[in-house]
Structure 1
Amino acid sequence: MEFSHNLQMHALPQASPYIIRRFWGIIHKRLLKFSKFYCHWSGAQFSNQIMQLPFGLVLKWSDGTRVEEVLAMEAARKAGMPVPCVICYGEHPDSPHALVSILMTRLPGHELGTVYETLDAAEQETILQEMDAYISSMRKWKSPWGEQRICSLSGTSIRSVRVPFHSMGPFDTEDQMNDYLLYPQGYHESYYDNEPDFLNLKKRVDVLFSDKHDIVYTHGDLKHHNIMVHDGHVSGFIDWESAGWYPEYWDFTTALRYQDEGFWWYDFVVKLGGHRYLVYKEAERALTSLTVDSYAW
């Protein structure tokens, strides 16, 4: 897919009927078995979450994959982003932790994290500019659910590994989201043993929660392993399971909160726009300390 500067969101994609998803779910179960045979025959490594198939296809069937991820992928691809083409997606009501499987095209290239330091300065700058265009453009998308609602593309709950119980919302206001993010603080009982430490963590979190933010469309999992590069350009922006409308800081502080400042990815994210939210880094770390026990699967 060629790089485009016209990255506007089109009409919201609609989910296929449930009976169609059930049909494809049955087919995908057969493809899982076929992938084992194919990988053994071809020498490819088999994964029970991202299954390799011939003809440039992969089958994703992993914990937390939902219809919302499919719709986010379709919206991003229609907007001109380098996202896999969804062939079909199946539903599996008998598999509660992996309800949906997605058959999609395989993108060329390698994960940015594995090749970044082998790229020359011009290629690194090109990739930065392309990612900036993708992220900046989708942050301008207008939500059909209202300017303050925090939700998935389709208006439903958001899935994220960095929120309590890996799911939140939808919320009508940012304050509602803040309350939800903080309510598991009592689970981390060790902090109650030293009240000054607990109060200090709460004070640090208040730096983030006392500000009001624009709600913007967000990938939700901005990591270097979710960016594919090929021939000096971004060839893939993948893993949209956490996408939705979030407070503007979300992607950047999620990527930076525990990142070593000496690592190239830290500087990359700062240049992408993370510099505007560095003031929240300690608040994010404090929030994690207060609520980490709620992040279990």
Structure 2
Amino acid sequence: LSPDELHTIMQELAEILDCMQSYSNPWGTRICGVDRKDIYSGHVPDWHINACNDECSFYATLLQAAQAQDEEGRAMLEKAKKMPTLFPHDIVFTHGDLWYHNIMADQGHISSIVDWEWVGWLPEYWEYTSILWWTGIQMPWALQLASLPGDK
């Protein structure tokens, strides 16, 4: 893709995400799959966790499964345990796997988004952190997503 085409695709993706995140969660604060059932994702334990009634229980579930392998990991886990003070986040409609191979482009424009098995109602940051899980912040795609207008 040319720089202009990439810019256009990023603008279109921002519009798509804004639209997706504007939908009201039909189950209020429930964090769940699109069918109100469990959550499937590449960055939850065993790729699956039970649906949660609210963000606090979701976060507690994630922390319960977290494992620290070294001193740095244990320090990060201790910081993470203090994060509930940052609540609440909007619970939004999320694709969950917007890595570049799931965004189809034709003639410099998005033609489709594929691979929807991880879709659900999740905290507003989930889409972006899903990208970081696979790539790390220094990967070009993650850097492009970080620059999206309106990125939460």
TM-score, normalised with respect to structure 1:
0.46
RMSD of aligned Cα (Å): 2.2
Rg bigger for which structure? 1
Indicate whether 1:129 and 2:11 are aligned.
yes
- The change in CA–CA distance for 1:274 and 1:249 in structure 2 (over 3 A counts) is farther
- What does 1:100-111 align with in structure 2 at a 5 Å threshold? none
Q: Deviations over 1:67-99 (max 9, x none)?
A: xxxxxxxxxxxxxxxxxxxxxxxxxxxxxxxxx
Match of 1:154 among 8, 32, 35: 35
SS in 2 for 1:221: coil
- The change in CA–CA distance for 1:227 and 1:207 in structure 2 (over 3 A counts) is farther
- Return the alpha-carbon distance in structure 1 between the equivalents of residues 149 and 127 of structure 2: 10
- The change in CA–CA distance for 1:207 and 1:272 in structure 2 (over 3 A counts) is farther
- The AA in structure 1 aligned to 2:42 is V
- Return the alpha-carbon distance in structure 2 between the equivalents of residues 273 and 200 of structure 1: 32
- The change in CA–CA distance for 1:172 and 1:265 in structure 2 (over 3 A counts) is same
Q: Which runs of 5+ in 1 are unaligned?
A: 1-118, 277-297
Identity between Structure 1 and Structure 2 (%) = 33
Once the two structures are TM-superposed, the CA of residue 122 in structure 1 deviates from its matched residue by 2.1
Partner residue in 1 for 2:25: 143
Q: Deviations over 1:212-249 (max 9, x none)?
A: 11111110112111111111111120111110100110
Match of 1:271 among 142, 147, 151: 147
Q: Which runs of 5+ in 2 are unaligned?
A: none
SS in 2 for 1:255: helix
- The change in CA–CA distance for 1:159 and 1:273 in structure 2 (over 3 A counts) is farther
SS in 2 for 1:210: helix
SS in 1 for 2:63: helix
- Return the alpha-carbon distance in structure 2 between the equivalents of residues 158 and 219 of structure 1: 12
How many residues end up aligned between the 2 structures?
150
- What does 1:91-106 align with in structure 2 at a 5 Å threshold? none
- Return the alpha-carbon distance in structure 1 between the equivalents of residues 36 and 66 of structure 2: 27
Query: Does the CA-based 8 Å contact 1:159-1:166 persist in structure 2?
Result: yes
Query: Does the CA-based 8 Å contact 1:253-1:274 persist in structure 2?
Result: no
Query: Does the CA-based 8 Å contact 2:137-2:143 persist in structure 1?
Result: no
- The AA in structure 1 aligned to 2:54 is T
Once the two structures are TM-superposed, the CA of residue 198 in structure 1 deviates from its matched residue by 5.6
Q: Deviations over 1:32-78 (max 9, x none)?
A: xxxxxxxxxxxxxxxxxxxxxxxxxxxxxxxxxxxxxxxxxxxxxxx
Partner residue in 1 for 2:132: 256
Indicate whether 1:180 and 2:61 are aligned.
yes
Query: Does the CA-based 8 Å contact 1:252-1:274 persist in structure 2?
Result: no
- Return the alpha-carbon distance in structure 1 between the equivalents of residues 97 and 144 of structure 2: 15
- What does 1:13-162 align with in structure 2 at a 5 Å threshold? 119-146=1-28, 148-162=29-43
Indicate whether 1:247 and 2:129 are aligned.
no
- The change in CA–CA distance for 1:149 and 1:218 in structure 2 (over 3 A counts) is same
Query: Does the CA-based 8 Å contact 1:221-1:251 persist in structure 2?
Result: yes
- The change in CA–CA distance for 1:249 and 1:199 in structure 2 (over 3 A counts) is same
Once the two structures are TM-superposed, the CA of residue 199 in structure 1 deviates from its matched residue by 4.6
Match of 1:216 among 92, 96, 99: 92
Query: Does the CA-based 8 Å contact 1:256-1:269 persist in structure 2?
Result: no
